[in-house]
Amino acid sequence: MPHRPYVIDEMISAKSIAARVEGLARDIHEDFKGTDKLVVVGLLRGSFVFIADLVRELDLPVEVDFLEASSYGDSTESSREVRILKDLRGQIEGRDVLVVEDIVDTGHTLAHVTDYLSTRHPRKLRTIALLDKPARREVDFKATWTGFEIPDEFVVGYGIDFAQRNRNLPFIGKVRFTG
């Protein structure tokens, strides 16, 4: 399926992202200090770069697991129907859990995932999102920590894709369609 041509304008630099990840790791450390092990759950696929950088900054014992939920497919718009495509491999009952998301848009995905994981009775469940678009929120959900609040723009880079493209960009960029 051909896509309309587009260009990407840098919105958040790689240097700004690295500095913010460092600060977020300090906040997470404070909240979870004393934990015997923090289960860091990355929401695939968009969070994989963020989670890799974040866990390297955490001065805590961590276990990494992944969950894949989808509400987009190859579209630029959320379908609002959240499906779990890949579940956790490990158990989280009685454990400290941090869910890592790339972007909170409508809020449906992260709200659904936290409700879903809460039924497994973690000791503590927190959320972090690299990006937050409050202008698009449709459900009352706010991540525990947010890297950057952004306007209602379609963005790519740092793990975030457009139809499986542009995940490898080291910065966050705004997609601007040219045709």
- Cβ(153)–Cβ(136) under 8 Å? no
How far apart, in whole angstroms, are the C-alpha atoms of residue 109 and residue 91? 21
The single-letter code of the amino acid at 101 is: E
- Cβ(61)–Cβ(89) under 8 Å? no
How far apart, in whole angstroms, are the C-alpha atoms of residue 32 and residue 142? 19
How far apart, in whole angstroms, are the C-alpha atoms of residue 168 and residue 103? 16
How far apart, in whole angstroms, are the C-alpha atoms of residue 45 and residue 159? 7
From 53, 96, 102, 105, active-site residue = 105
Q: Is residue 36 among the annotated active site residues?
A: no
The single-letter code of the amino acid at 122 is: P
How far apart, in whole angstroms, are the C-alpha atoms of residue 22 and residue 167? 21
**What are the structure tokens assigned to 166, written together?**
């542009």
Q: Which residues are catalytic?
A: 105
